[in-house]
Every structure is written in C-alpha cells, then in structure tokens.
Structure 1
C-alpha cells in the first residue's frame, strides 16, 4: 500500500521553497499527504583762546610771531567762508558738495559709455573676422545646406540627403521553452539518464542527497508498479528514465516518462495508479517492498514524472513523517527543473541560430 500524493508546482522550483505554488496541489491516491560726550564750540567761533596764532597773556608774542597784535591769516579770517562772527557758510558748503557729486556722476556715466563702446567694437571685429573665414566669403556656395562643426566636418541641414530608415515590422518574440518540450517534433536535444540526473550527489538547499542506481528503458511497462506500467503503455509511453537518491534513511526513486506530445503525458498523469517501480542498486537496497510508501505524479510538456519514497529499513510511511514528504518535494522539484531546463536550452539555441538555418 502507498500514500498517493498530489501534484507538484507547474513552474521551476527554488530550493528555498519560494516557487509560489502549493506542492500538494494535484490529484491524490489512497489519501492525501500534505501536508555720549560733550561738544565744544564750532571751529572759529567764540573768544580767541591761547594757542596756535592767538596771543598768550598780556601783550606776549604767540609762538614766533613778533607782536601780540600780529596773527596768522587763517586765524583772522572767518572759518569756511563764514561771517565775521565766526559762523560757517552752510549754503556754500552744500553747493560745493553738490558740485562734487555732479562731477562724480558725470565721470561714472562717461566711463560706462566708453566701456560699452569698447565691447561693441570688439564684437564687430569678431564678426568681421568670422565672415572673412567662412566658405561663402571665400567664394563658396552661399546656399549650402551644410553646417560646419569643429574638426572640419559638416552636418547636413537640408532635406536632400539620405535619411535613416527603420523597419515597421516588430521583431519576433523570443522562443518559448514550453514549445520545445511539448512535442517530440521540436524536442530534439539528446536525452540520457546521466544528462537528466547528473553527478553523484544532489544538493537542494541545505540538503544533500546521494545518488544510487540509474536506468533508462523503452519498456515502459516494466518501470511501473501497481498498474502504472499499463497506464504508461496505454498512452504511448516511449521511454522511462529512473534514478534513486538517499538521505538520512530515506530512499526515493524518481521516474520520467516520455510521450509524443503534451496531451498524452497529461492523460497518463491524470490516470496514474500505482507508482514508479523502486530502483535498487548503487549502494541502495530494496525499499518500498510490502510496506507503505509515498507516491506522487505530475506532468510537464510531453513528460510525466513520478516519485516513490520510503524508509530504507522498511518502516511504513505515515503522514507525520515529514522527512519523507520533504524528500519527495525536493526530488519532484528537481525533475521539474531538469525538464524545463531542456526547453530553455533549446529555445536559447533557436534564438541565436542564423535565420537561414546555416
């Protein structure tokens, strides 16, 4: 007796489990397994004080002047054009200041005019020099539609020269990998047991599986158990490739069956009963004999694939045996990825092949 299981995801599966699909989404057999300071007087105002040009005391000369009555001219005149009383002539001062300001403004304005004239002269000289160097001034064609760029090259600006053309036909889409694995007419890449199940070990995430025996046969009936062989033959199976893997006391055989097209493979998966025959050898003894094991089936393109997993010591598998279910998930996902990789490789080769096929 065996636990029949659901199908696997229909997209390539990642080891971290992020495939985006429920691995237990298929049909079942025999049950389910999902699992501030002061101011002085103004300058020159008030009484004369002793000091420069003013007498000292009574009739004494003031600093080198021979007589006390003789004073320096600047001490005897009103300060800054003021009156005899010593008061400054404020109007005269204001007029003098205004005159100075007018002179300053005229100087600034005159300088601006001169600067503008100088710049205009420089520009005119540059324009004349450029015209003398142009092809038209040298006797060239004045109606040319070309523009000279640094380096002597010319860029066409008219509409008489050649223009780039672009195809209005959209390029074909890249080939779909599923097109190459859905029919035997396009699925021409070599297929072997070693190519489908390469190496001696399989690392899936943090889990490492050891590969045992492999097998490839065109006798599809012999690769099935409990009625699966008959189902394969009835739907035109042409070949079955199997491989066995073990890890921590759990063994699993995964089998991949080939059909003419996708429709036949899908029918074989839907009508599956029993399971793929366990494959012993390569260091793996018989397993899943007269005991309960976990069986599952699925299809991708023209391929149907099946797994049968159980304990190497013959212990019956129960729904609480998560190690067996995990092993089944890993190997089924691996088979899916390997089949899809065939389609991707063939699609890539077709996309890079010459259009004439040579």
Structure 2
C-alpha cells in the first residue's frame, strides 16, 4: 500500500467521501488493527477537546452578552438619574395625595364697630361734649349758604331752655342737659337745641311724644336780636342715639313765617342736617378711637 502522490487515498472514517480500502482475500497485506485503534482514539480525543473548548467560548459569549446587558441597564439608569436631577425613583417619592394638607385654625376678622353704639347710651358716649365742641368755629356752610354763628349756651336745667309742652316731655324722659346755638343769614335766624339723655330709648320717646307746641327757646346774642318770641316761626323735632334735637327758625325783624318763606325753611333744614352730622361724627370718632386700642 503506497502513501505517496498518485497513490490510493487514505481512508479516514471521519471524513465524508473517503473510501475504505478493499481487502482481498488474496492480499498478503494484513491491516494493522492496533494502529487503526490508536488513530481513532486520537481523533476522538481531539473532538472532545474541541467540543469542550467550543463550550467554553459559548459560555464566554453568553457572559459577554449578560455583561453588556447589565452595563447597558446601568447606563440607562445613570442617564435617568441625571435627567431627574438625582431624585429617587418615582416609587420612592410620596405623592401629593399622601401628604397631609396644612391645616389652619379658622379665623375671622372682628366685625367693625358701629359708631351709633357709642352714642346710644351715656355709658359708652364718654367723650367730652359742649356747645362749642358740638358746633365749632364761627360760621358754617350748609346747602351752599354760609351762616354766621351767634351765641351758644348749655344748661342742666332743661326746662329753662324750652317752652310750650317741651319742658314736660323732657322732664318725663329724664333730660340731663340742653345745649343751644344760633346761626343767622340775611335776617333769618335759626336756634338749634340738643337735649341729652342716658339712653337712646328716652330720646326716641321724646321725638314720639313731642307735639307742635314742643318748642326750643330761641337764643339771641352776638349780633342776633331776639326772634321767635311772639311771632309765628317754623320748628322741627328729631332724634339720633341718645340725643334729641330741635330747631326754631324765623325772621329777626319779628314778622311771621309763612309757607312761602323758603329761605326760613331751607335754613331750618340745613341746620337740622348739620346737627345730625355732628352727632354722627361724634360716634364715628369714638368708634375709631376704640378700634385703635
């Protein structure tokens, strides 16, 4: 059997297409069975080593894939952390609904002080008062007309400052003082009388029970002659808080007032409104002072 070039191909049982040599009964060459067994064992050993090596490579490849996947996952997590500014994961952040809402004790602003409360009774109406403080200055402008201020007066003898049936009305309701002031303009004069009581109810009662004969006595002086002593004059009666106030208006020359004498009616109305405003302002001033304390 030749192993040189051009000879018969060597049979390899692991190589496809190789041919097993034909052994003829007439051949004197006998196969070397021991050599063939050694060759087969060597090939089997190499095959096992290849399979072991291939398995190790596959294991390394899988490990590489896992490592890449882990690194990739870590990279994404880092990117996510950077994007969120290093904040913990959403599951770690308590939701707004889980946090208790802030609670505040119910509060309310105190109601504003009512100015009328301070002039409704002598207990709260404690600011100093006189004819001069209630009617300050030397003149006043009301209804577009400037009136000159005349004489003022104040007395605790209420009956001495009134006439007709008013003295009895004031006495019945325990009048404590009557203050008067006179204003004049172009021959028309008006005297305002303000009577004080301890309570609003007493002043209201005076207003309700006074009649046409319940008149404050006019106050002359300081350039104003006597008026409305015998002539017909126009009078009014009203009240606010613990104050009852009256007006009497007429001519300084002594003539009677008629319904056509609009200047007299206007003067009486202007002084009545001015008196109401002064009493109300007194309450507002005391309420403001109390609120600042």
Report the TM range for the smaller structure's normalisation.
0.5 to 0.7
Query: CA RMSD, aligned part only?
Result: 2.6
**Deviation per CA, 1:189-248, whole angstroms, max 9, x where unpaired?**
221212110111111131111100111111111110123223212210001111000012
Q: Is the 8 A contact 2:81 2:87 kept in 1?
A: no
**Residue from 118, 136, 158 that aligns with 2:87:** 136
CA shift for structure 1 position 141 = 11
Measure, in 2, the Cα distance between the counterparts of 1:327 and 1:203: 11
Distance 1:262 1:133, change over 3 A: closer
Residue number in structure 1 paired with 2:136? 198
Q: Is the 8 A contact 1:217 1:239 kept in 2?
A: yes
Measure, in 1, the Cα distance between the counterparts of 2:206 and 2:87: 85
Q: Is the 8 A contact 1:224 1:230 kept in 2?
A: no
What TM-score, normalized to structure 2?
0.66
Measure, in 2, the Cα distance between the counterparts of 1:247 and 1:130: 91
Q: Is the 8 A contact 1:253 1:307 kept in 2?
A: yes
- Give the match's secondary structure for 1:297: strand
Residue number in structure 2 paired with 1:165? 104
Measure, in 1, the Cα distance between the counterparts of 2:242 and 2:235: 20
- Give the match's secondary structure for 1:304: strand
Is 1:288 matched up with 2:228?
A: yes
Is 1:322 matched up with 2:273?
A: no
What TM-score, normalized to structure 1?
0.55
Over 3 Å off, 4+ runs = 127-130, 157-162, 169-172
Measure, in 1, the Cα distance between the counterparts of 2:81 and 2:221: 93
Unaligned runs of 5+ in 2: 1-75
Q: Is the helix fraction higher in 1 or 2?
A: 2
Distance 1:144 1:293, change over 3 A: same
CA shift for structure 1 position 328 = 0.6
Is 1:235 matched up with 2:173?
A: yes
Residue number in structure 2 paired with 1:334? 274
Which one has more relative contact order, counting CA pairs under 8 Å at least 6 apart? 1
Measure, in 1, the Cα distance between the counterparts of 2:233 and 2:87: 95
Residue number in structure 1 paired with 2:27? none
Distance 1:302 1:178, change over 3 A: same
Q: Is the 8 A contact 1:135 1:141 kept in 2?
A: no
Unaligned runs of 5+ in 1: 1-124, 147-156, 354-358
Q: How many residues align?
A: 215
Measure, in 1, the Cα distance between the counterparts of 2:87 and 2:183: 86
Residue number in structure 1 paired with 2:158? 220
